[in-house]
Structure 1
Amino acid sequence: MSIPVFKPFMRDGDRYLTATDAFCVATYGHRVITTPNMKFIPQSFDNESDIIQARADGRYWAVDPFQWPQMYDDSYARSFAIPHWEAYMDDSSMTYAWFRPAFMSDFVPLAPDNLFGQLKTDILDHLKRLYEKANKRVSSYKLTRMHKEGHVVGWVHVMHAVYEHFQQAMAWCNVVMVVAEYQCRFLNIWALLDYYEIIEPRMRFVDTTHNVNPKWMGCFTQDVAIATKVHAAGVPVWLICDARLVQSNMNIIKVVSFTPPDDLVIGMYHHPVKNFAQPFDIIARCPSNRRRHEAVRQPYSDFEKLPVPKPQVEQLVVKESSVGRAHIDKGKAKAKLAPYDATAPRQNKAVSGHDKWSDIDHPYMPPMNSFFKTALQEAKKEFIRIKHPRDKMDDGYSLPDPGLFVNVLSPQSLMKYLANWLACCPTWLERVYEESPRPLPQAQNWHNFLISQHAQGPLDTQTSSKTSKSKAATAALFQKEVTALRALSGASNVHWHGKDIAISTLDNPPADLVRQIMYEICEQGFRYELLDLDEHLGRDARKDKEARKERMELLCSIFLSKSLRVWNKDFPQENDGLNAPSFDAALPYFESFRKVLLTWERFPESLKQPLNQTGREHDLWKGMKECCAFYVQSYFNNTGCPPIVPHLLYSVT
């Protein structure tokens, strides 16, 4: 596209450059990008399918407002004040706001070629100074702007909470992510204070145009009014418009080519020892709009469950993180920063702080069956899909949420959870299988029960306090089990799967033992919920006694043991059934699973054909995956919450 000849700008001409004039101009397609106050035009990344994915330094390349100018959005108006690293190259105190750690020079592994370790002490000292620098500026700001003190102070607290994670050993890939998160916290604070102290007062009066400050990142916009306000405040701005709408009297100084983001990391994270690419998860695909701003500001979601180096696993008791406790911006970020809350009501799993549609990545938790993991990730969770209350199933927990055991506040709490569960599980599992108690306990009921003292006497059901009523309701749900706990008082051991376990060891239990307990809870939870859902949706297949018998045989054939009860058997030594390690070994169990689902409402036509050895491997794999997706979706539609799904057995030692 050729640039039309417009009226040139003269130093002592008849008017100054306005927001719609062009000190520089560049074109692409039918669009024109101009800037009234900068000597270059950055390349614009506004494609609908631009990928938001962390790269080698834990950042998001040119779609990251902390590295490259983005489209202006009212919800993230302060983004144009984010410091630009090139403007601070001579300021040594700011250097570590853009520091990129190197595995070979900045990291101390626990052992040679070990990917777990910590940053070197001098690096940690430099990073700490960033926090001190931010805190000092916030303290100064508080003296003059008390009405906004809490908001800013909250951000400093969160920055310090992120810094605390450097005190523990982490995997190298997590180190680069936490460093990036820490730096973004700092840059956000710096931008916030620049906005409040400098830019906001200027934007109130657009009749005065201030000199541009190249230390700010700046922004793109398609709105002339926004461009005018930002330009007047001295913020770098680039106006995007249709070439057909360019005014004939626009002042143009020079035509330029786009400046690409050559200084940014473009490679994926690589394994520092074996040197193969390890891409982080894709967060979103979206254009340069509010959604992108939101996506790149998601905190690293797994602060509370970062993998722990093996030498520390058996001493692990995860303490509740302070991340997210400080007062921070409203909206989704607040929920995403909250620590895992296993006692939240089950129907609120998606907003309880931990996304219960995801696998719990923790050394005590066995990994999730990959078919079911994908099904949970891809499930449609719209509220409108949930059935009317009169048609819903009980949404309580047939077994305790594994999250109760892997995220505890103290070793004593862990010991209580484990000892109480092992003492009462035979009674409870028998009861759930034989009686199908209703209502099922909610997460808070399980917490109240498993944290209770062994020798606790009968609760006073006449007291009116909210806590007492909650405990009384819990005691009513676990009548037989409360008796089992009282019998535990004074005991030194609990019995589980043919072995006596010393209660005194459960505050720091062997990791293998906890994994086996978690595996059994997940496996038994899946079986009970499958049975419950089949009784709800497969009523037509249970018309008489003989039909019910055949139905139970079909359900049992999903599992190698040919039984829904696993708790009174020897503990399995290898994965089997739906978890079988080979394709051929798992196929007959998935076929039985498909036959069970066949009678449920909305069964997909694509699964009508049997899963057998005569089919193409790709089609069979797709059918297995679709069975799991249909099961997860059916459970959500009938309860409003995600199901417990099969997990893989760790090797038993």
Structure 2
Amino acid sequence: MFPRREFKLYLQPGQEYIWEFDAKVIAYCDPYVITSPNADWILEPHCFQTEELRVRADGHFGYQDCFQWPQAYSQKFEYTVCILNPQKMREQEDPSKTLWELWTPTEDDFNLIDPQSPFGVGKLKHSIYYNLYRLYDSAQEVVDQWKAKREGKKDIVTGMVLHSRHLLNVLKHHPLTFPDVVVYVAELQCFLLDIVAHMLYVNHHQFALTYPDFPCRTNYDLMGCFTEDITTCERLFRAGIPVWLVRSPQFIPQDMNIINVVTVTRPDHIVQKNFVHNGVVTMFPTLHLGCGGTDRHFNSRHTFRAKVLDVSDATSSIVIPQQSAVASSSQTASGGRVQVNRNNNAQNNAKESVYSASASRNKVHNPKSGRDKWAEGDAMIMPLPFPQWVSSFKRVDKDPARVKTGLVDTGYRFPEPALIVSASRPPDLA
């Protein structure tokens, strides 16, 4: 550990402006020194240590969530620097209105289908759903205008819009438990914020990031990011995006221009506790365990459907099947034990599900099975099955002997298609 150096305000003669290698603000955050050439504050970084990415009590990922707190820069997810800053959104929004992008449902917003049922299944109130749909409608309108200019060319944002629509349909039509509703609402909000960030990046900041020129005016409404690379800091500074450069103390020049020495702002307002409903703690699976960057960005956008435990599974572990590269760790429901997967390449096997409820999608079916055998389809465009349904189908009694034959026939069976549509007619039909 290097001894702390006392930073003093210093501005070189003839240099009235701050450039990318100077410090508009500077602060110690052991063991780093953080500077910013274009921001007035310095946030506590939570992207350079090994930390756990999983769903918290409000359905989000806590301060490891790129939609709530700045994360490490990733070239493959460069547009995330344009995510709207939630703190600025709260400051600019009319206090008399509800900020639905950051809203978390409560039990008062949840209507039980049968209050006497022990399962506690219900839906969101219609007025709540309508406000969430308005958010989706505004995001879709921006995307449609952009697609019209590009002659309908499809892009990654098209898949975001389709998935957001799917989440709205689930919230409207499917009975869910209250923890599931919280998670689905948070996932919908993240996808809508992702759409807005992608459009801001494409329409306003992509050109400036690709071809850096004279520094643009800083847009403090954007989330920004942390970086350890000076070249990346220079590009973001010239594009007008808030950036924080993280360095070791020995790499701070003695004659660097310094405007303000500040203290680090910590994310005390962000929820980190586990979800508790009716006195029961819900432990969601760990999606990623490691430092910030591409892997964390990738896993934070993976659909994190709620895992609903059966009574028999209440004391068993929630294990991520096959330790896929999408999720590099597993979480136990009883003790919170985490097992780390050494192979954490998020680009491989991106199609594999991270929940045991969808593990049946990855099973290899017997190719010799008859046409009367049902096989579950496996495609990216198909939504994952609901855990409750999968569990019920596994427990159902499939013994045909339990079915009693009555006076009515069991049903009509369609003939073999080859008897009707065939190149040559069978001998018995000649």
TM-score normalised by L of structure 1: 0.49
Amino acid at match of 2:387: D
Change (3 A) 1:13 1:149: farther
Tell me the residue number matched to 1:362.
Answer: 388
Q: Does 1:128 align with 2:154?
A: no
Q: Write the mapping of 1:169-318 to structure 2, written as runs, cut at 5 A.
A: 169-271=175-277, 273=278, 275-301=279-305
Amino acid at match of 2:262: V
Change (3 A) 1:455 1:71: closer
Amino acid at match of 2:112: P
Once the 2 structures are TM-superposed, how far is the Cα of residue 199 of structure 1 from its aligned partner? 0.7
Tell me the residue number matched to 1:95.
Answer: 99
Change (3 A) 1:125 1:147: closer
Change (3 A) 1:108 1:232: same
- Superposed CA RMSD in Å reads 3.9
Tell me the residue number matched to 2:66.
Answer: 65
| Pair member with larger Rg | 1
Once the 2 structures are TM-superposed, how far is the Cα of residue 207 of structure 1 from its aligned partner? 2.3
Q: Which has the bigger relative contact order, CA under 8 A and spacing at least 6?
A: 2
Cα distance in 2 for residues equivalent to 1:214 and 1:131 = 24
Cα distance in 1 for residues equivalent to 2:226 and 2:385 = 38
Cα distance in 1 for residues equivalent to 2:82 and 2:159 = 19
From 105, 109, 113, the equivalent of 2:112 is 109
Q: CA deviation digits over 1:85-134, x for unaligned, max 9?
A: 1222234688111111111x221223168632111221111101001110
Amino acid at match of 1:268: N
Once the 2 structures are TM-superposed, how far is the Cα of residue 343 of structure 1 from its aligned partner? 9.8
Q: Which SS does the other structure have where 1:27 is aligned? A: strand
Once the 2 structures are TM-superposed, how far is the Cα of residue 166 of structure 1 from its aligned partner? 0.9
Change (3 A) 1:207 1:458: closer
Cα distance in 1 for residues equivalent to 2:386 and 2:185 = 23
Q: Which SS does the other structure have where 2:387 is aligned? A: coil
- Extract unaligned runs of 5+ from structure 2: 311-346, 368-374, 402-410, 425-430
Q: Which SS does the other structure have where 2:21 is aligned? A: coil
From 3, 6, 15, the equivalent of 2:5 is 3
What is the aligned residue count?
Answer: 358
Q: Does the aligned pair in 2 maintain the 1:72–1:221 contact within 8 Å? A: yes
Once the 2 structures are TM-superposed, how far is the Cα of residue 165 of structure 1 from its aligned partner? 0.7
Q: CA deviation digits over 1:302-324, x for unaligned, max 9?
A: 6xx9799xxxxxxxxxxxxxxxx
Q: CA deviation digits over 1:360-397, x for unaligned, max 9?
A: 8334635xxxxxxxxxxxxxxxxxxxxxxxxxxxxxxx
Once the 2 structures are TM-superposed, how far is the Cα of residue 5 of structure 1 from its aligned partner? 4.9
Change (3 A) 1:148 1:459: closer
Q: Percent identity over the alignment?
A: 25
Q: Does the aligned pair in 1 maintain the 2:37–2:243 contact within 8 Å? A: yes
Larger helix share, 1 or 2: 1
Change (3 A) 1:134 1:260: same
Q: Which SS does the other structure have where 2:226 is aligned? A: strand
Change (3 A) 1:171 1:253: same
Cα distance in 1 for residues equivalent to 2:169 and 2:386 = 22
From 155, 160, 166, the equivalent of 2:160 is 155
- Extract unaligned runs of 5+ from structure 1: 309-329, 367-401, 407-417, 424-451, 466-653
Q: CA deviation digits over 1:524-565, x for unaligned, max 9?
A: xxxxxxxxxxxxxxxxxxxxxxxxxxxxxxxxxxxxxxxxxx
Q: CA deviation digits over 1:381-421, x for unaligned, max 9?
A: xxxxxxxxxxxxxxxxxxxxx68x99xxxxxxxxxxx7xx8
Amino acid at match of 2:415: Q
Tell me the residue number matched to 1:139.
Answer: 144
Q: Does the aligned pair in 2 maintain the 1:6–1:251 contact within 8 Å? A: no
Change (3 A) 1:119 1:285: same
Change (3 A) 1:238 1:332: farther
Structure 1 stretch 150-159 or stretch 18-27: which is displaced more? 150-159
Q: Which SS does the other structure have where 2:233 is aligned? A: helix
TM-score normalised by L of structure 2: 0.72
Q: Does the aligned pair in 2 maintain the 1:56–1:270 contact within 8 Å? A: yes
Cα distance in 1 for residues equivalent to 2:385 and 2:192 = 30
Q: CA deviation digits over 1:407-464, x for unaligned, max 9?
A: xxxxxxxxxxx7xx849xxxxxxxxxxxxxxxxxxxxxxxxxxxx984635957x979
Cα distance in 1 for residues equivalent to 2:112 and 2:24 = 51
Once the 2 structures are TM-superposed, how far is the Cα of residue 298 of structure 1 from its aligned partner? 1.3
Q: Write the mapping of 1:584-595 to structure 2, written as runs, cut at 5 A.
A: none
Change (3 A) 1:196 1:261: same
